[in-house]
Amino acid sequence: MKSNSGALKGRVLIIDEEYNQHLAETRIIKENFPEFEVHELGYSKDKVLEFAENVVGILAQIYFPIDRELLSRLPKLRAISVYGGGFNNVDVQYATQLGIKVSRVPDYSNHEVAEHVIWSILYFAKKPFYLSQRGRQGFWGARAVSDEPIDTWDPERMENLPRRVHGSTLLIIGYGKIGKTIASKANGLGMNVLFYDPYVKEGNAKAVKVELEEGLRKADYVVVSAPLTQTSKNLINYSTLKLMKKTAYLINVGRGGVVNEADLIKALNEKIIRGASLDVFENEPLPQDSPFYTMPNVVVTPHAVYISDKSIKDLKVTAATNLVKLIKGESVPGCVNCQ
């Protein structure tokens, strides 16, 4: 893709403190706009404003707020491209008023997120680290699971008893593209898949639509893959957690605010549910003194399950390509305010 921008001069700002290199993005921008300056900046509005003159494009992480005040001070800005599927960091309404196009990168990590959900299910069901530890202690075979009489083994009572995944029930909260990818992979494990999503009218062969209360009561595993909205905020709280089986697990790969974290901590401490796998949190990074870090029945990952050898390259290339096309006045599939 070569530039047809003529004598257009300008600057592009890459605002990012997560990725330590932007070679692919810079190459794509320079191939299309060789006359452009490209500046790599951290999360500082003051620093951005130092380079404000002639800024026509911004490529930014989802953590950097691009609000009304900042937008009003970038008079030549044409396009904003966000690294990721979310774009809550941008005042899209005001950007639209100013004629600034905003894009995101949907679907680049659907498989990565869905695979993490399946891993979490298998981790909770198969107890690999517990069994590894028992083996190192000299226990073998059935004795590695428990010294209790084998005919009295009870999954309701024995937290470390491995369980069969085939035939168990998964509830997916939020049945968008990631939710559907999770369902497809869970079908491959022979799971019964339910979903709750008020914006999806009916189920299909992969998953059965249910109301939230019904799904929570039936599920052995509950995965949150819903975006954070006014209606989804704190959707999972102490009352809804009490509807779940005591042997059930919660997996959150959606947004932190969908789960009330204080209520989840209380429910875990009271053994209302058996455990949780959490990749997203209301405040990130998760504070080092968070109780989640020390809870043995909780898996904490640092909002990183979208990353793989494939997804991160796709994200960087697509985000930069989106920016180039929007500056040129072209539309892109990820544009959130293109007509």
Instruction: Enumerate the active-site residues.
Output: 255, 284, 303
Alpha-carbon gap, residue 190 to 104, rounded angstroms? 34
b/e 260-295 (16+ beta carbons within 10 angstroms → b): bbebbbebbeeebbbbbbbbbbbeeebeeebebeeb
Phi, psi of 173 (to 5 degrees): -100, 110
Alpha-carbon gap, residue 93 to 88, rounded angstroms? 11
Which two tokens mark 281?
């949190």
Q: Are 25 and 316 in contact (CB under 8 A)?
A: yes
Question: Residue 80: which H helix or E strand, with range?
Answer: strand 79-83
What is the torsional sign of CA 331, 22, 11, 16? positive
Alpha-carbon gap, residue 292 to 57, rounded angstroms? 39
Alpha-carbon gap, residue 178 to 229, rounded angstroms? 17
Which two tokens mark 94?
């005001």
Q: Are 24 and 18 in contact (CB under 8 A)?
A: no
- Per DSSP, the residues of 125-137 read HH-HHHHHHHHHT
